[in-house]
């Protein structure tokens, strides 16, 4: 009994969002007792299938070191601390559009920690910037993060409609990130109480990095699979054809990749689908949520605030069932990825990666949580106002 209880506790600690999704689904079904077919109808299998296919094909590219190879090549161009900040931040920003925010952080944060350790500079502020860049860059495309993929499918946005909306986040974000980098990498003068930091890099550290990619017959199948995934996202081909093709390619090329998929995310989606659909059948709850989403401004604010508490993916799944204002909800949950540490689950990834570093253990970089919260809250307020006004 004690062992079983301990296993449950460990599961909750490891997968708190998944546990919450499954728990809420079970409670809702037990309380409301919907028709048996409702739970199955609630699950958006198209979103789950596309998410699965994108995750596994990205794992395939990671297995061939593509991102590491590109990063190593570009890093050799850096001569100054400022150029290194710009490169690493915008690498995360643009890569997160295609490989999702969590994969971008899992790829580039460890590289950043290693580089800054070797050039003997604190990396904490850069990791915070990279986290901001990942959450903002991933907002731009449907496959950048799970909530975009879901909302793109749920509301039936055209590609033009979707990108016209996300451009409201993308364009201000590019300039805001640049301003932050310029401010953080300014030369501090000892005469004014600041510690002098080396502005020029030694060069050897970055130039000596060697990374190789693996190119074989599988590479062409992976590229073809990624293209087919994109075609399915934009509804050019049926998602079932994409799923069959993906399963066949991975079974032939590298069946071990099936073990590397984040199945907990897929079950999280299923749990929240059932929870929200079940609760939508309860008139009192439906009326309450509808009252909170009655105007554009209230939908925008509700999406942002809800994201701060339960994260932006569950917020998108919960609120979408109660509003037809998909445009404002899309903007809200993406802007809402800023703010608290749990507003976006990708932020938790970089926090864990940094916390495990030697710099964090030695407390050489400062208080990560305080710095992260300060930057995120300030940016949430600024970007939240700008995006709504434009």
Mean pLDDT of the chain: 84
How confident is the model over 347-357, as pLDDT tens digits? 888 888 888 88
> Sorting pLDDT into bands at 50, 70 and 90, what band is 169?
very high
Which among 283, 286, 348, 288 has a CA at the least distance from the CA of 312? 348
Separation of alpha carbons 389 and 300, rounded Å: 12
Instruction: Please give the Cα distance from 341 to 119 (Å, whole number).
Output: 28
Q: Is the pLDDT of residue 345 over 50?
A: yes
pLDDT of 194 above 50? no
Contact 71, 91 (CB under 8 A): yes
Band of the pLDDT at 190, cuts 50, 70, 90? very low
The answer to whether the beta carbons of residues 81 and 198 sit under 8 Å apart is yes
Kindly list the distances between the CA atom of residue 308 and the CA atoms of 135, 174, 313, 377, in Å, as whole numbers in the listed order: 14, 23, 11, 10
Angstrom distance (rounded) from CA 36 to CA 42: 11
* Contact by Cβ (8 Å): 371, 124: yes
> Residue 241, Cβ neighbours under 10 Å: how many?
12
For the cut 70, the answer to whether the pLDDT of residue 386 exceeds it is yes
Residue 100 contacts residue 53 (beta carbons within 8 Å): no
Asked whether residue 17 carries a pLDDT value surpassing 80, the answer given is no
Q: What is the pLDDT of residues 38-56, one digit of tens each?
A: 888 888 898 889 889 988 9
What percentage of the chain carries pLDDT values higher than 70?
A: 90
Q: Which of 19-23, 135-139, 142-146 has the highest mean pLDDT?
A: 135-139
Helix (H, G, I), strand (E, B), or coil: what is residue 186? coil
pLDDT at residue 198 above 60? no
Q: Which residues contact 341 (CB under 8 A, 6 or more apart)?
A: 347, 348, 351, 369, 372, 373
* Gyration radius of the chain over CA positions: 22
Looking at the predicted structure, is the pLDDT value of residue 203 above 60? no
Written as six digits, the tokens of 75 are 């890093």
| pLDDT at 337 > cutoff 90 | yes
pLDDT band per the 50, 70, 90 thresholds, residue 195: very low
Q: Beta-strand (E) ranges in 118-204? A: none
**How far is it, in rounded angstroms, from Cα 16 to Cα 19?**
5
Which pTM value belongs to this model?
Answer: 0.79
Q: Which of 294, 299, 376 is nearest to 330 (CA)?
A: 299
Tokens of 266: 């897929």
SS3 197: coil
Torsion of CA 119, 350, 98, 331, to 10 degrees: -130
Instruction: Supply the pLDDT for residue 67.
Output: 65
**What is the rounded average pLDDT of the residues 306-333?**
89
Measured distance CA(55)–CA(51) in Å, rounded? 6
Instruction: Report how far residue 335's alpha carbon sits from residue 312's, in angstroms, rounded to the nearest whole number.
Output: 9
Task: Compute how many other C-beta atoms are within 10 angstroms of the C-beta atom of residue 192.
Answer: 6
pLDDT > 90? residue 20: no
At 117, the pLDDT band (50, 70, 90 cuts) reads confident
pLDDT tens by residue, 206-265? 555 555 667 788 889 999 998 998 898 888 999 999 999 999 999 999 999 999 888 887
Which residues, 6 or more positions from 288, have their beta carbon under 8 angstroms from its beta carbon?
A: none
């Amino acid at each position: 009994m004690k062992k079983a209880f301990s296993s449950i506790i460990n599961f909750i600690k490891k997968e708190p969002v998944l546990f919450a999704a499954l728990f809420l689904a079970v409670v809702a079904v037990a309380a409301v007792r919907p028709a048996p077919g409702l739970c199955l109808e609630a699950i958006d299998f198209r979103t789950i299938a596309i998410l699965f296919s994108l995750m596994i094909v990205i794992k395939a590219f990671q297995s061939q070191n593509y991102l590491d190879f590109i990063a190593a090549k570009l890093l050799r161009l850096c001569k100054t601390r400022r150029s290194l900040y710009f490169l690493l931040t915008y690498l995360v920003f643009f890569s997160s559009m295609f490989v999702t925010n969590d994969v971008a952080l899992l790829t580039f944060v460890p590289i950043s920690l290693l580089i800054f350790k070797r050039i003997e500079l604190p990396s904490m502020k850069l990791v915070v910037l990279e986290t901001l860049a990942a959450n903002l860059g991933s907002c731009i495309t449907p496959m950048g993060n799970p909530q975009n993929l879901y909302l793109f499918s749920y509301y039936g946005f055209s590609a033009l409609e979707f990108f016209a909306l996300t451009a409201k986040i993308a364009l201000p974000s590019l300039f805001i990130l640049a301003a932050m980098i310029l401010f953080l990498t300014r030369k501090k003068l000892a005469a004014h109480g600041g510690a002098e930091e080396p502005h020029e890099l030694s060069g050897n550290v970055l130039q000596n990095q060697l990374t190789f990619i693996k190119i074989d017959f599988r590479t062409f199948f992976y590229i073809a699979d990624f293209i087919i995934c994109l075609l399915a996202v934009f509804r050019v081909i049926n998602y079932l054809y994409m799923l069959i093709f993906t399963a066949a390619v991975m079974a032939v090329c590298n069946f071990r990749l099936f073990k590397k998929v984040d199945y907990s995310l897929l079950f999280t989606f299923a749990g929240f689908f059932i929870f929200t659909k079940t609760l939508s059948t309860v008139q009192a709850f439906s009326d309450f949520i509808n009252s909170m989403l009655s105007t554009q401004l209230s939908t925008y604010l509700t999406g942002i605030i809800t994201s701060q508490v339960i994260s932006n993916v569950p917020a998108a799944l919960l609120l979408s069932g109660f509003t037809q204002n998909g445009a404002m909800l899309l903007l809200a949950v993406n802007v809402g990825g800023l703010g608290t540490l749990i507003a976006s689950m990708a932020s938790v990834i970089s926090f864990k990666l940094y916390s495990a570093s030697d710099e964090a253990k030695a407390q050489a970089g400062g208080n990560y949580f305080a710095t992260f919260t300060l930057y995120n809250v300030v940016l949430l307020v600024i970007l939240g106002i700008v995006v709504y006004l434009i």
